[in-house]
Amino acid sequence: MKQFVFNLLRCKYLFDHYVIKREFIKDTDRWSLKRMKQSDGGSSYYVNTFDADGGADAATRRIRMLLAAFHVSAPTAVYKYWLNAALYWLFNLRFIKVETIQAADYLRYLESVGRAFVFDRFLAGGKPADYFEIIYTNEGQCQAKREKDCDWTRLSFGRIEDNLVLTIWITCFGLPTKTAARIRTAKSATSSSPLAAR
């Protein structure tokens, strides 16, 4: 029982530090990725999670953008597979201190999950992988290694099953029309392919 309560508290800590929240400042709202910090005087304030000096860097911005893309693509509170994947990865890191989580590692994992959701599930040429398989069995690693493993006709108007495909595609790979045209003319998977890890 004690371990269960500790794990719940750890998940809450990870959620508070590494999952985006809405921030309301001066009558505007935006997504933020911040953690609470306590000053020497005992008062608390928020700082950017990955930035010691409070400034935003490219990795933090991309993490925020990817988490927001996941969130707005699945806004219901019922099915947040992206949140499950993020917390599973964060919780199972074998670090002694949670503060050692690096922005670049987290970003690589989130991009990998995005690729797996798009290519192993929504654009799968064969049987689509379910979320459990993507998150727990494959640990967020995209299994589609060649462009021929995907059904590109599912990017056609009227065939896109889930807006996550378009949102993640644009977030990770740029505008879909340019990328899709490049893919159709490609003879083999290269580093410019959306299947290649960045």
Each residue's pLDDT tens digit, 125-153: 888 899 999 999 999 998 887 777 777 77
Residue among 116, 185, 187, 180 nearest 152 (CA): 180
Domain boundaries, the chain: 57-185
pTM for this one?
A: 0.78
Alpha helices in the chain (DSSP H): 2-18, 58-73, 81-91, 103-115, 131-132, 163-173, 176-185
pLDDT per position as a tens digit, 15-58: 998 999 888 888 888 888 888 888 888 888 888 888 764 445 88
Query: What sign for the dihedral angle of Cα 144, 146, 148, 154?
Result: positive
| Alpha carbon distance 23, 118 (integer Å) | 29
For residue 149, the 8-state DSSP code is G
Structure tokens belonging to residue 22:
């809405």
* Residue type present at position 45: Y
